Chain A
Amino acid sequence: MIVGSLIGGGLLMLVLMALAFFGLIVIVAIVWMYNSLVSLNERIDNAWAQIDVQLKRRTDLIPNLVETVKGYAKHEKSVFENVTKARTAIMKAGTISEKAKANNALTGALKSLFAVVENYPQLKANENFKLLQEELSGTESKIAYARQFYNDEVMLFNARIQKIPWTIMANALKYKQRDYFKTEEKERKAVKVAF
């Protein structure tokens, strides 16, 4: 009898302690999951802000570039129009996929602009133009790097919120799959060769 009640009391205590311990672990796990998912989500926003900064920088550089090139190559109207149109499009674009599309169009328009420049050796030797060209190609590769970083973060996030138990937490937080900043694979390589 005595032994039995001792075991019974001890067992109860043990079970209670195990339950409390288990509960503690669950709470810690939930807090940790919540925090890491929120910070992943935030990192994507930050990464996107990086792209946005560089896109803005690029659109800021273009009027100056167009003016400089116009000084030497007045007749290439269609090229300037295309660049200006693409620039306006990117400034109007709202969603990520719209921006990605407009950015690709701008890259294409700039490529034909720089192709035209090839015919004007004096312009190519212009110090101001050289500086602008360096700034533009620098900004372009920054966009590429920012995009790479952003897409990596999105990949990490999207993969995670599909997995159990993350998906439960993601649902609770109303997190959805994030959009990639898409581009044609060709573009990056072409940029590298172009400048």
Chain B
Amino acid sequence: MGLYEQIESNKRRTFLLFAVFFAVVIAVGYAVGWLFWDFGELGVAFSIMLGTFWALVTYFLGDRIVLAVSGAREVRKEEFPHLYNTVEGLAIAAGLPAPKVYVMNDPAPNAFATGRNPNNSVIAVTTGLLKIMNRQELEGVVAHEMSHIKNRDVALQVFASILVGVVVMIADMAMRTMFYSRNRDKDKSPALMLVGVLFIFLAPIVAQLIHMAISRQREFLADASGAMLTRYPEGLAAALEKISANPNQLRAATNATAHLFIVNPFKKGFLVGLFSTHPPLEERITRLRERSMGMQG
């Protein structure tokens, strides 16, 4: 598959996943509304309202929270001229305004991008990353992050995690309520009610799975469009190899911020495969190397 086709198919898959995602949120809202208030639409309206409020708060405050939690600080050009030039160069390549540059003091090599839109974006890298990467590799990593900004992945991720949050919250509320009010549901068919209850139990897991699937798609997409920016996929491939070989673990990462980083900061993740925020590194490297050959030909 060529680069452009890969980018297109990635976008289609993300769209599809979001469509399913929305369906799950609405279905959960409906199931809860129907079970407890005999009025499905009320549940749907409630979940949409909750989601919108949550989205607004996270959209405008999310980047500040993330930067504070990760311990990143904004640096001046004189401190890290090389990093600055790389970020500015790739911003030019992507046709974007230059993001702010942040550095995390941490020996584990990693990086992330945040900010609600390209005009308010930040690229943060660890000192460990700067130490072990050569010019092309650093360009590869920064290009990956720049692609997240260009593809609006930060907003997308915020959106996805809120959808998960809404599903989890509503399901949680529903389950709590179930224990207190059991006698009102005489006119509903028990089979349907069982389906509804089962669905409410399963929905948070399904939502989480979809979120992770979206996250993995976006990582592949950022790898592909990052390679488009540098026209040198091997740079990122080599960088990913170096990161995976490095034994240090990022101190500042939490489960909530793990999906942001270029490589999952939890090396030996207890959840693999379907529950992973990132595709396996080997697969990402293989895809980049295949592309590298395709580009020469």
Contact = CB atoms under 8 A, between A and B. Distances in A.
A binds B: yes
Contact of B90 (A50, A139, A145): A145
Judged by DSSP, the binding face of A is helix
A141 interface: yes
A148 B229 CA distance: 9
Interface string B128-141: 00000001100100
Interface in A135-176: 135, 137-139, 141-142, 144-146, 148-149
Interface residues of A, number: 18
A149 B89 CA distance: 11
Interface stretch (B80-88, B118-126, B162-170): B80-88
B81 A148 contact: no
Given A148-B231, A192-B135, A195-B135, A135 B85 contact: yes
Contact of A138 (B86, B93, B136): B86
Contacts of A135: 81, 85
A134 interface: yes
B95 A47 contact: yes
A100 B200 CA distance: 64
Contacts of B95: 47, 149
Contacts of A134: 81-82, 85
A170 to B, nearest CB: 22
A50 B92 contact: yes
A148 B231 CA distance: 9
Interface in B223-280: 229, 231
A36 B179 CA distance: 59
A137 B231 CA distance: 18
A131 interface: yes
Contacts of A139: 85
Interface of A: 47, 50, 54, 131, 134-135, 137-139, 141-142, 144-146, 148-149, 192, 195
